[in-house]
Amino acid sequence: MPGSTQVGPGALISVDGGIAGLGPVPMLPAKQFHVIGLKTLAGILFVGLATLAAHWSFSWIGYNPTDDGFTLAYSRRLLDGQIPHLDFIIIRPFLSPVLHMPFVWVAGDSLYWWSRAFVWFQWASMAWLWTMTINRLAGRPFRMIDCALLALIGMAFSANTWAVMAWHTIDGLWLATIGVALICGRTRRRLRFLGYLLLGTAYLCKQSFFPAVPLILLIHRDWRDLRLWLGAAIPGIAYVIYLALTGALWDAYIQLTAISSMADVLDSNARGLTVYVFFGYLAFRLIAGAPAIVGLTHNPRLSARLGAGLVAVVAILDIVTPAFTLRSLYATSYTLASLLLGGALYFVLEARRGNPFLQLILMILVLAWSATISVGAKSPALMAGPMVIALLAGILPAVFRPRWRTVVLLILAGLTAAGFRSLRHEVVYMEQPAARLTFALDGVFPGGRGIKTNPNTYAFLADLQKAVALASGYPDPYAILPDIPGYWARAAQRNPLPIDWAKNTELSDLRLLRRVTDALDAQRSHLTMIVQKVQAFPLPQGFKNLGSSDKFAVARHVRQNFKKCGETTYFELYR
């Protein structure tokens, strides 16, 4: 019967899900429902297990009192009822602190422990969503077991040696990933609208995701649909309205445009992209076999194998070896981006228009590029997972039969997991190797229960407690300069300054710097300043004097204009 399909024994329902007398109730065919149910279950299982395994294995490793926890400190300010941009300085939109507010609210003294679990959850769910999206757009070449293995590889590549901490770029990528999963290959406009809405929230985590919205609208050929533009714009409009209503619009403008130069980012991008783009182009062309390369015209299988081999050689040289030679993917993730860009170039230059796989590659590259727009981490490393999954999806089906694909993926996943474990233990973000992290932060650092660090950082943070005790001898509140922003996430006292991490990265605009120094001057004699004697970044290596460089301009201001009233081993107190 036209317009109907038979699902299950004797059942007959129309394809639009309508049942006589009950109106149009959306229903899925039982087989499709079964598949979707299986996928959902597999997804939940993967994300749950991967999160748990990674969390138990790695979350306890290391803490450095610099950027770790500064998002959580912002969350605390929001919970305290402060208005972002107006009451405190935040040079990125504030959705990321909003996302992490529940943890600050409920996690208690194990705040960092639970916050890290959420970050692992974000990485696991991103890996799974990208795998399913890529599999769907590549024509479903992978079975469920393959998808699980791919997701595992993707998660390990994205997480790599990145610090497990609440971080705006990870939040932005997470929301964008959910958005892209809802956009790609979907015919239902409501889903796509929701997808663009989520994509719009990504730039509220970090403004670098703003260019991604129009680019993805263009890439997915949705740019003619005004409603989808609206969907992507709604979060931004809501943000502006909120700022206008709270009177924070001008402050927000100053703060969000404090770092606007793209020269360094583009320079890093240009340096990172290499001849591997050419290799990627050649690999995809060899795999597709069109236009045929001289000498391989009549041998498409050899051509495909050569293409796969080309990528494999580059991967062994530049991508796989880092895991085993204990180097992070910070720089070599550009190799992945180069290969994928080469693939995109192939589809653009040689293939027919409208290829969904090309759309997918371009979206991945756009998000990877958005992640590179950064002050300190101009690398697409956080998108290494989706990039490697897309490469594998483009290559493996062309050269291996399904059974062999599983075997190859099993081997790759095993190697990746082994390399990942070794990397996470040996290359810890601003820390010593995991084996040397024997000092627990329980009771020494608020919110740090369950986290272990090196002897230097421990001594530094333990000494902070002494400094705080000394400062508590005065009736006034105290502030800490220039680092340790994570302290304020669970501190008994609120931070009296409008900034938690008073460093050049957060205060690059002179007006922002003045605002902080003015706040200090205004509270003179009503505030005790605890100023570090040593820098926090190199703590794992030793104790290096803070110095008086522009990086620590606020601390320098205090040292020059306030009077020292006490000191401990690593801190000085000023009033």
Partner 1 sequence: MNFILAWIYKYRTVLGGLLFTAAAGGLAHAAWSSSGWNVAQDGMLLATSRRILEGQVPYRDFIWSQMPLALWLHAPLTAWAGDALFLQARAIIWFQLAALAWIWAWMVNRVLRRPLGALGLPLMAVIAFGGAGYSFLPIESDTVNALFLSTLGLALRLGAPAGPSGSARRWLGYSLLGLAALCKQSFWIFPPAVVLALGDGRRLSAWLAAAWPMMGLILYLSIVGALYAAWQQVFTGTLPLVWYWNALIAYSMNGLYAYLAMRWMEGVPPLNVPAKARWLQRLAGAGMWGLTAVLLARLILYTAAAKTAAMLFWSLIGAWSYFLLERRPAARADVLIGFLAWWLGLAACSFDDQRVLVLTAGIMSLPLLIWIWRIAPRRWIRVAGVAATAAVWLALSHYAQEVRPDPLVSRRYRSPPTLDAPRGECVYSLTGVLAGGAGLNTSSNVYAVILDLHEAVRRAEQTGHAYAILPDMPGHWARSTALNPLPLDWVANPELSDSALQEQVVRALESRRGRLVIIVQKFQGRVLWRDERRQYNWPLPVAYTRKYFKRIAETQYFELYQ
Q: Which helix (H) or strand (E) holds 237?
A: helix 226-246
Closest to partner 1 by CB, 12 vs 313, is 313
Distances (CA, A) of 560 to 464, 517, 521, 557, 575: 22, 12, 12, 5, 11
Nearer of residues 318 and 483 to partner 1, judged by Cβ: 318
**Among residue numbers 133 through 152, which ones bind partner 1 (CB under 8 A)?**
none
Please report the sign of the dihedral spanned by the C-alpha atoms of residue 519, residue 523, residue 527, residue 532: positive
DSSP letter at 346 equals H
Token pair belonging to 148: 């699980």
* Spatial distance between the Cα atoms of 169 and 164, rounded to a whole number of angstroms: 12
Alpha-carbon gap, residue 446 to 531, rounded angstroms: 19
Q: Choose which of 21, 81, 295, 542 interacts with partner 1 (CB under 8 A).
A: 295
Minimum CB distance to partner 1, residue 332 (Å)? 10
Residues 399-428 vs partner 1: string with x where CB under 8 A? ------------------------------
Write the DSSP symbol of residue 278: H
Q: How far is the CB of 336 from partner 1 (least distance, A)?
A: 15
Contact 487, 112 (CB under 8 A): no
Q: Which of 293, 415, 462, 519 binds partner 1 (CB under 8 A)?
A: 293
Q: Closest separation between CB of residue 420 and partner 1, Å?
A: 21
Q: Alpha-carbon distance 429 to 68, whole Å?
A: 10
Interaction mask 317-346, partner 1, x per CB under 8 A: xx--x--------------------x--x-
CB 7 within 8 A of CB 17: no
- Interface map 538-557 toward partner 1 (x if CB under 8 A): --------------------
Nearest CB to partner 1, comparing residues 187 and 261: 261
User: Both tokens of residue 412?
Assistant: 């790759």
In the set 53, 273, 408, 427, which binds partner 1 (CB under 8 A)?
Answer: 273
Q: How far is the CB of 482 from partner 1 (least distance, A)?
A: 26
Binding test (CB under 8 A) with partner 1, winner from 174, 281, 501, 562: 281
Check binding of 28 to partner 1 (CB under 8 A).
no
Contact 88, 515 (CB under 8 A): no
- Smallest distance from partner 1 to CB 337, Å: 12
The residue (of 267 and 442) whose beta carbon lies closer to partner 1 is 267
The yes or no reply on residue 49 touching partner 1 (CB under 8 A) is no
Let me know: does 234 contact 200? Beta carbons within 8 Å: yes
Can you tell me which of 274, 355, 472, 523 binds partner 1, judged by CB under 8 A?
Answer: 274
Residue length of the chain: 575
> Where do the H-state alpha helices sit in 66-143?
70-79, 95-106, 111-137
Selected binder of partner 1 within 73, 124, 277, 481 (CB under 8 A): 277
Using rule CB under 8 A, residue 261 touches partner 1: no
Considering the rule CB under 8 A, would residue 294 count as an interface residue with partner 1?
yes
By CB under 8 A, tell whether 246 contacts partner 1: no
Give 179-213 as a 3 state SS string.
HHHHHCCCCCHHHHHHHHHHHHHHCCCCHHHCCHH
Provide the minimum distance between the beta carbon of 292 and partner 1 in the complex, in angstroms, as a whole number: 9
Burial code (b: 16+ CB inside 10 Å, e: under 16) for 240-261 equals eeebeeeebeebbeebbebbee
Of 92, 53, 52, 146, the residue nearest 409 (C-alpha): 146
What count of Cα atoms within 13 Å lies in the side-chain half-sphere of residue 565? Answer: 19
Closest C-alpha among 109, 10, 74, 92 to residue 441:
109
Q: Which two tokens stand for residue 197?
A: 């809405």
Contacts with partner 1 by CB under 8 A: the residue count is: 23
For residue 305, the SS3 value is helix
Output the six-digit token pair for 155: 């998660």
Q: Is 275 in the site for partner 1 (CB under 8 A)?
A: yes
213 contacts: CB under 8 Å, gap ≥ 6: 196, 199, 200, 202, 203, 232
Taking the least distance from each CB to partner 1, the nearer of 273 and 408 is: 273
Cα 118–chain centre separation: 12
Min CB(412)–partner 1 separation in Å: 21
Among 102, 185, 247, 291, binds partner 1 (CB under 8 A): 291
Output 59 or 303, the one with its CB closest to partner 1. Answer: 303
Nearer of residues 338 and 432 to partner 1, judged by Cβ: 338
- Per CB under 8 A, contacts with partner 1 among 342-361 are 342, 345, 348-351, 353
Q: Interface residues for partner 1 in 66-105 (CB under 8 A)?
A: none
Stretch that binds partner 1, among 84-92, 121-129, 202-210, 293-301 (CB under 8 A): 293-301
Question: 61 by DSSP, 3-state: which?
Answer: strand
Provide the minimum distance between the beta carbon of 322 and partner 1 in the complex, in angstroms, as a whole number. 10
Q: Which is nearer to partner 1, 53 or 273 (CB)?
A: 273
Q: Where does 373-503 have alpha helices with state H?
A: 384-399, 402-426, 455-471
Q: How far is the CB of 366 from partner 1 (least distance, A)?
A: 19
Residue 278 sits in the site that holds partner 1 (CB under 8 A): yes
Contact footprint for partner 1 (CB under 8 A): 270-271, 273-275, 277-278, 281-282, 291, 293-295, 317-318, 321, 342, 345, 348-351, 353
